[in-house]
């Protein structure tokens, strides 16, 4: 199995000279099995370029599986620009948590409503089907075994562990840490005091995450904030690399990949973050990589595929 990053940015796309090396597009990761099966995790703006690549590879209409962590704009905005959707005969299965929406098809359909996009979902040639996921309820997609994991994010979000070809990786985004703030179904102006029940819920969520991540080869984690930024916005629903490292160390993870970079972080800052956390990871025996658009990682200890880990030679 291998994974490729098509969008690594959080919140909104950031074009420009300051982001050419790490990339400006939002959340989208492609997982490939040894047999060539593909699962797409999140449908942020990175999905446009992925779709164009899949079109070049495809021999006629295909079936695509898309796992959504949640439906904030930065995780779905690429969907209307996914070119295979405009090829008749294409099937797109969308797996997502039912959060604030009543119906998945109405919330996904809602992004292409007349006011927002010229073509409504019903007119798009591809056939869509929607599958509701539940944390802890495992399922198979071809040779991928998928485990949804509940995360701490406004109105709910779900991470995924994917097991395939004798190895595993996990996608843990978007999530806040599990101590100061609990995200529920309402808007937080700032951190709210935690009740005894809240503390129990947070602990249970953290324990379940640790159990699911135990021994996983590679974990891609929402590390939107630096610690000093997190201190100002603990209620925004994102984590720091330190918080991710703590979870990964407890779960005996081999490798952590920093992901969902803040739009304000320039390439120079990302270089500094990458160096700082590579060193911090070494101290606790975890390899820490910083994701960039075009990064491809073989999953598993046996490295027999070419590995691209340097954004300096990243795509244009």
Partner 1 sequence: MKIRFWGVRGSFAMSGREYLRYGGNTTSVELVTNAGERLLIDLGTGATELAKQLMGSEFGKGQGKLPILLSHTHLDHIQGLPFFTPFFIKGNEIRILGADPNSGSSLETTLQNQLAPHYSPLNGLENLAAGVSIETVRPPATISVPGFEVRTHAVPHGSMWTTAYRISADGKTVTYLSDVEYANLDEPPAEVLALAKDADLLIHDAMHADHDYELRRGWGHSPARAGVVVAERAGAKKLALFHHSPDATDEMIDEVVQRTSARTAVPVFAAAEGSYLDV
What CA–CA distance (Å, rounded) separates 127 from 89?
Answer: 7
- Out of 42, 163, 174, 217, which residue is the one contacting Zn ion (CB under 5 A)? 174
CB of 99 to partner 1, least distance (A): 5
* Residues binding partner 1 (CB under 8 A): 11-17, 19-20, 23-25, 45, 48, 70-73, 76-77, 81, 99-101, 107, 110-111, 113-118, 154-155, 185-187, 189, 236-237, 263, 293, 315-316
Residue 166 binds which entry of Zn ion, partner 1, none, CB below 5-8 Å type-dependent: none
Give the one entry of Zn ion, partner 1, none that residue 226 binds, where binding means its C-beta sits below a cut-off of 5 to 8 angstroms depending on kind.
Answer: none
For the chain, first and last CA: distance in Å?
Answer: 25
Write down the least CB distance from residue 70 to Zn ion, Å. 8
Work out how close the CB of 71 gets to partner 1 at its nearest, in angstroms, rounded to a whole number: 5
Locate the DSSP E strands across the chain. Answer: 2-7, 28-32, 38-41, 63-67, 91-97, 127-133, 139-141, 144-151, 157-164, 167-172, 218-222, 255-259, 287-290, 296-298
Distance between CA atoms of residues 263 and 19, nearest Å = 9
Instruction: Assess 74 for contact with Zn ion (CB under 5 A).
Output: yes
By the 8 A CB rule, do 43 and 78 touch?
yes
**Residue 316 binding: pick among partner 1, Zn ion, none (C-beta 5-8 Å cut-off by kind):** partner 1
- Indicate the SS3 state at residue 128: strand
Strands 38-41 and 63-67: parallel
Site string for Zn ion, 128-147 (x = CB under 5 A): --------------------
Q: Which stretch binds Zn ion (CB under 5 A): 90-98, 132-140, 169-177, 306-314?
A: 169-177
Partner from partner 1, Zn ion, none contacting 16, C-beta within 5 to 8 A by type: partner 1
Residue 70's Cβ-side half-sphere holds a number of Cα atoms within 13 Å equal to 24
Give the integer Cα–Cα distance in Å for 47 and 65.
13
In the complex, the smallest distance separating the C-beta of residue 73 from partner 1, rounded to whole angstroms, is: 6
State the binding partner of 283 from partner 1, Zn ion, none, CB within 5 to 8 A by kind: none
Contact positions toward Zn ion, by CB under 5 A? 10, 74, 174
């Amino acid at each position: 199995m291998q994974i490729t990053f098509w969008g690594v940015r959080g919140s909104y796309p950031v074009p420009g000279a300051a982001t050419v090396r790490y990339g400006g597009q939002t959340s989208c990761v492609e997982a490939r099995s040894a047999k060539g099966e593909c699962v797409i995790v999140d449908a942020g703006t990175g999905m446009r370029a992925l779709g164009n690549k899949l079109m070049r590879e495809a021999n006629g209409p295909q079936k695509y599986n898309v796992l959504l962590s949640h439906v904030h704009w930065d995780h779905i905005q690429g969907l209307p620009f996914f070119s295979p959707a405009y090829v008749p005969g294409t099937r797109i299965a969308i797996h997502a948590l039912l959060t604030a929406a009543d119906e998945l098809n109405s919330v996904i359909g809602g992004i292409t409503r007349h006011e927002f996009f010229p073509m409504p979902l019903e007119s798009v040639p591809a056939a869509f089907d929607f599958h509701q996921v539940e944390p802890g309820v495992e399922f198979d997609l071809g040779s991928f075994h998928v485990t949804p994991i509940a995360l701490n994010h406004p109105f709910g979000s779900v991470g995924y562990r994917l097991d395939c070809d004798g190895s595993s990786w996990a996608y843990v985004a978007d999530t806040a840490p599990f101590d100061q703030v609990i995200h529920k179904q309402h808007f937080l102006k700032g951190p709210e005091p935690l009740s005894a029940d809240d503390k129990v819920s947070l602990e249970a969520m953290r324990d379940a995450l640790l159990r699911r991540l135990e021994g996983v080869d590679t974990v891609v984690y929402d590390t939107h904030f630096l610690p000093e930024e997190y201190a100002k916005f603990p209620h925004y629903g994102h984590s720091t690399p330190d918080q991710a490292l703590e979870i990964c160390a407890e779960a005996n993870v081999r490798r952590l990949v920093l992901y969902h970079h803040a739009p304000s972080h320039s390439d120079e800052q990302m270089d500094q973050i990458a160096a700082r956390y590579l060193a911090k990871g070494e101290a606790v025996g975890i390899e820490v990589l910083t994701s960039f658009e075009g990064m491809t990682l073989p999953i598993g200890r046996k490295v027999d595929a070419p590995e691209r880990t340097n954004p300096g030679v990243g795509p244009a």
